[in-house]
Structure 1
């Protein structure tokens, strides 16, 4: 994999085009779209591994760093949205208004943590198969 592609992937993993915000957290279709955009790195892992010289430990290390950055970003964004929703639910409860839809959204976003663990495991399985000598920290 050439360095330019790797740098582009690293930039997407850290900051990418889709940014999480309170507005996005409160709109489930936007939230799904942002996560879908952020998971493109994982969706294309097989293609990326086919263009990576897995005989070079440095290539495996660099790609692993990109994956880790993407995982951390998604975890951070999911937690951010859970906090936003939790605050909105508390505000509604304090005001004495129903918060059923917000609670449903909260449960759905919380469920994304399980999806995230599946996505991570699938990507790591591919990574381990293609970079068998790289020890994952």
Structure 2
């Protein structure tokens, strides 16, 4: 039985929208590699545009300060904290999607292997089952490769973030943010 489906929604699209799109990840999302990769690309937009996001967020906090609605700390610190929270939330959602799909595809592969064993002595059925098994293994490898891609993308985004936010460190009270900070 596959793990519980992640409850993920409009946060996949990182641009503000008045009509957010909800994306429900299901086993069919995991089995359709092009849909899965498109979804991951949508979620990776924040990482790909980290410098632009920092620029926009800094400008927003400057505008708030001019309007007298400033928060705690200086503008750069507030902007860095805001973008860091977005990054951590986005990384967590992507991790949930990838782990869910890895479990779904692994389970599917196990089921295909069992059907290959139960295919009997019929050569035609054996050949067909082996072909299906091979296709599942290719899909499994592609999904598992996303784990390595995630590590690379997080590291790249983290380095870009640290270049702009040299003096920022997440508060020790934010356990999840600290976990991500220490892991990258």
TM-score normalized by the length of structure 1: 0.83
Paired with 2:77 and 2:12, the residues of 1 have a C-alpha distance of 20
Higher relative contact order (CA 8 A, sep 6+): 1
Tell me if structure 2 keeps the 8 A contact 1:24–1:31.
Answer: yes
* Counterpart pick for 2:54 among 46, 49, 52: 49
Structure 1 residue 80, shift from structure 2 partner: 0.5
TM-align CA RMSD? 2.1
In the TM superposition, residue 90 of structure 1 has moved relative to its aligned partner by 1.1
Q: Which has the higher helix share?
A: 1
Runs of 4+ in 1 over 6 A off after TM superposition: none
Unpaired runs of 5+ in structure 1?
A: 1-10
Structure 1 residue 77 corresponds to structure 2 residue 81:
no
Structure 2 residue ranges without an equivalent (≥5): 1-9, 14-19, 59-73, 117-128, 171-177, 179-184
Matched, 1:133 2:132: no
Q: Matched residue pairs, number? A: 127
Which residue does the alignment assign to 1:38?
Answer: 43
> Which residue number in structure 1 is paired with residue 88 of structure 2?
68
The normalised TM-score by structure 2 is 0.63
Tell me which of 154, 157, 162 is aligned to 1:120. 154
Of 15, 20, 30, the match for 2:25: 20
Decide which structure has the larger Cα Rg and report it. 2
